[in-house]
């Protein structure tokens, strides 16, 4: 069966649409960064509310946040200049996530000990949603055993601590204690609430990028793969709750956060890494562009040019996908990629059968928007008994469509489903 379908995933700009985020800002010089963070979140269509401690107002004016959010910035617990309701309870009920950033040593101590003496600390006690805490303070304060104990206590209470960055601090010292960059804070928020965790408990292995086969210390054979599609798959799986490992060759794309990266160069190195990582994976997606051949001889010194013609003898590399298909377990779902320039469906279906795959994602290099290095793709998802052709989409959308198709197939695989349920149970009892 073959049909043209559209993937109904949200565009990246709408990842937080319908989500309510509460930002708690405390007395730290890093408070100015939260204005940019607020702007970034509103551009993702989040409904952002800002609460400030009184000390925080010495570093940034509440009017800044009110302008960015179109909501009153709450500071005073007993402020009467808003419509009557129990404000801290109201926000606590509707919030999807709270981020306290920058989090001073003072607010960390209050949260760890249940102190509620201002609007922010009172609201935090009333919130039942996910809570993130991003500390920012002097290095000596951050490393103080009391502060460290308070942060551990918060983790025991279910708070997620965002590790402080290291660098030059406003006080003049250098060390740990910097507030992470706003972009990273956004990534933490997106990971927490942007997507349903329908892949929680899954272990996913993705290969990405191009392999590089050395000729000599200077030259090598490679291809045009940038790793964008593989990274998009890894990020999408991570956002859906999976534990993700990426075996990456040469890449030019920005690496996704919160995934395990295993860097390699050659096809042989990728084979060894994939072989090891695939042993306990529930889903393996081979999106890397692996060299089919490598030089038979690698020279120790740079090969000097001459007036004569030169030929390089090539040797076949290990077929990683074929090996995985021949040595797979019943629980492993195996998905490959097939980039063709002609007879796309026919050649891809042959590859599916020859290499014992559950699914193959086919595309045509000559199709506009589907080549190397683009932010878009045009694919056909092929299984043993179906074909689904998709319109031009972003690679983020393509990734979700592929994962949707895998999850649909996975639910029909009792071995994979049982392994997932077992892993989820073991995680819940720890």
- Catalytic residue numbers read 171
DSSP state of 370: -
Peptide bond into 102 cis (omega under 30): yes
Q: Quote the Cα angle for 224-226-231, to 5°.
A: 150
Query: Which residues lie closer than 8 Å to 317 by C-beta, 6 or more apart?
Result: 211, 213, 267, 268, 271, 290, 291, 292, 293, 294
Tell me the sheet residues that pair with 361. Answer: 337, 381
CA 43/CA 46 separation, integer angstroms: 7
The strand pair at 386-390 and 376-377 is best described as: unpaired
CA 202/CA 80 separation, integer angstroms: 49
Biggest CA pair distance of the chain: 88
Closest CA to 133 of 97, 168, 175, 176: 97
CA 315/CA 318 separation, integer angstroms: 10
């Amino acid at each position: 069966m073959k049909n043209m379908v559209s993937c109904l995933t949200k565009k990246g700009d709408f990842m937080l649409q319908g989500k309510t985020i509460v930002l708690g800002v405390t007395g730290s010089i890093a408070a100015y960064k939260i204005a940019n963070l607020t702007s970034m979140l509103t551009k993702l269509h989040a409904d952002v509310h800002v609460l400030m401690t009184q000390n925080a107002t010495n570093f940034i004016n509440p009017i800044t946040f009110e302008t960015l959010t179109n909501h009153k910035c709450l500071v005073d617990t007993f402020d009467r200049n808003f419509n009557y309701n129990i404000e801290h309870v109201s926000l606590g009920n509707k919030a999807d996530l709270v981020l306290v950033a920058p989090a001073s040593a003072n607010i960390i101590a209050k949260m760890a000990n249940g102190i509620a003496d201002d609007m922010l600390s009172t609201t935090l006690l009333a919130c039942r949603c996910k809570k993130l805490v991003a500390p920012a303070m002097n290095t000596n304060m951050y490393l103080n055993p009391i502060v460290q104990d308070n942060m551990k206590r918060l983790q025991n209470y279910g708070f997620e601590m965002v590790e402080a960055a290291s660098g030059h601090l406003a006080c003049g010292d250098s060390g740990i204690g910097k507030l992470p960059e706003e972009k990273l804070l956004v990534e933490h928020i997106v990971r927490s609430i942007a997507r349903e965790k329908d892949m929680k408990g899954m272990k996913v292995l993705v290969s990405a990028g191009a392999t590089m086969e050395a000729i000599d210390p200077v030259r090598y054979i490679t291809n045009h793969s940038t790793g964008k599609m593989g990274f998009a798959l890894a990020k999408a799986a991570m956002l859906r709750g999976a534990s993700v490992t990426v075996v990456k060759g040469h890449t030019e794309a920005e690496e996704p956060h919160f995934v395990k990266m295993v860097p390699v160069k050659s096809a042989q190195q990728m084979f060894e890494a994939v072989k090891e990582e695939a042993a306990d994976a529930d889903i393996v997606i081979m999106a890397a562009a692996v060299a089919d051949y490598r030089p038979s001889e690698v020279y120790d010194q740079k090969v000097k040019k001459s007036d004569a013609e030169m030929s390089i003898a090539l040797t076949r590399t290990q077929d990683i996908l074929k090996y995985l298909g021949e040595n797979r377990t019943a629980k492993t779902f195996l998905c490959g990629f097939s980039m063709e320039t002609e007879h796309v469906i026919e050649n891809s279906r042959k590859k599916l059968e020859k290499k014992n795959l559950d699914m193959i994602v086919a595309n045509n290099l000559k199709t506009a928007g589907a080549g190397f290095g683009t932010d878009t793709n045009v694919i056909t998802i092929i299984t043993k008994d179906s074909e689904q052709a998709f319109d031009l989409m972003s690679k983020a959308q393509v990734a979700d469509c592929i994962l949707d198709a895998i999850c649909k197939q996975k639910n029909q695989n009792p071995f994979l489903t049982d392994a997932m349920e077992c892993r989820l149970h073991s995680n819940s009892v720890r």
